[in-house]
Structure 1
Amino acid sequence: MATDRMLLVVAHAPSPNTRKLLDAVMRGAAHEDVTNVSVRHVPPLEATPDDVLAADGILLGTTENLGYMSGALKDFFDRIYYPCLEHTQGRPYALWVRAGNDGTGTCRAVDTIVTGLRWKAVQEPLVCRGEFREDFVGQCEELGMYLAAGLDADIF
């Protein structure tokens, strides 16, 4: 029997639309076919190194702010970087970005930090670009399900 795994969702969701995306990620990650993964959302300003150390996988979510990640997600990285650096290498993660522009700078900024942490991207970042569209919700739900199912099946 597989042991329980934990998926940590660290996402900044300051608006009703970004909250829809977070809810979709959580719904996907809690899919009924995923039986051995618990999912926990902790806002970036509240997430601690202990949360990261306890996680088997991490799903990051952020808005694009002036071509960069949200200040809340940057604050998260600032606080967890050194306490987690030697203990979370190879940790599987994925990223979604709600981008008004193209999301390129946001993805690059997150990639720079997670490369330093030596986390392992399990898929390309999901960038929800432009005006909000309802299909973003389905894409985020699939992302949550993908990461949780991968942890459940011990693929990552």
Structure 2
Amino acid sequence: MAFIVKGAGRMYAVKENGQEYVIRFAIESWWLGDYESYNLQTASLYNIEMTEDSDVLLVMREQIQEVAAAVPAVGLMIKEIDQKGAIATQKRIHSAISLSAEERYDVLSKSYPEFLKRFPQSMIASYLGISPETLSRIRKNLLFK
């Protein structure tokens, strides 16, 4: 698991046709990694890419557990960071299954405006499950509202 001290990154998968799709973004003070792989100690299906010059701490599962047990304040900090990630995941699932493309963009822009500044539009489109052209139309329409 990677803790981002400085910078930004994404977790993504690649379809058989070579198309990439973004699973999640992460910025400073966020964890970035495959929670399923991390907790079940299995190989990951996903790729991690830092999209900016970054400083990250790569932490093994056992190390996190040991430090959290030895230093309660660290355990609380880890819990808060995990909660931030869980909230982002919950928002993403809700958006993906119940909102239009325009609404998904609106939620992302209000919840995580820094993502729109720090990740390329092609990655934002992938994250939202739309084509870059659709994202461009959405952004253009918002300018003229």
How does the TM-score come out when normalised to structure 2? 0.31
Which one has a larger percent helix, Structure 1 or Structure 2?
2
Asked which structure has the greater CA Rg, the reply is: 2
**Structure 1 length normalisation: TM-score?**
0.30
Higher relative contact order (CA 8 A, sep 6+): 1
